[in-house]
A and B are shown apart, each in its own frame.
Chain A
Amino acid sequence: GNSVTQMEGPVTLSEEAFLTINCTYTATGYPSLFWYVQYPGEGLQLLLKATKADDKGSNKGFEATYRKETTSFHLEKGSVQVSDSAVYFCALSLNRDDKIIFGKGTRLHILP
């Protein structure tokens, strides 16, 4: 079936550290890939997306590259801030409909 697997949290880092959150997917066909972020007490927000192989999505200093050969879409940021503390969800869409499949989420804590 179609699914998304992401690293379990929580992930705790110091401010200005380098961040990687791993995400791999299983899908029939050619999905679009997404990272969503959820801040406390809020709904999820789209952080970035990529619609085809080798595309790089980027936003707010975060980046992720669609790697078809490794079926991965790892999230990276060069220097994290306390305000980046949130839960991050990797997701895919099969583009046949609007249905989006989410991973279980990774909680990120950034220490000042």
Chain B
Amino acid sequence: GESVGLHLPTLSVQEGDNSIINCAYSNSASDYFIWYKQESGKGPQFIIDIRSNMDKRQGQRVTVLLNKTVKHLSLQIAATQPGDSAVYFCAGDNTGGFKTIFGAGTRLFVKA
């Protein structure tokens, strides 16, 4: 079945450094991937997405990389700020389906 998992449960970075959060997925049918950020007391918030016909997509301070060969996804956050402290989930879906399945999550701590 579908599963989306993360390599590291916690990540601690210095303010101003770049952060990289990794994610592995097992379902080859997944063709749409999303990163969500969840702050304490809030629901997950969309950060960036990528479809399987791409290998890189950039947003404001964030970049998502997709390696379909090894079924690996990563989120890069440039110049990490204290406001980036949160839990980050990768999620996978397939076009034509309604099931967005979440990975285990990585908690990002940003040290001032």
- B is a partner of A: no
Which residues of A are at the interface with B, using a C-beta cutoff of 8 A?
none
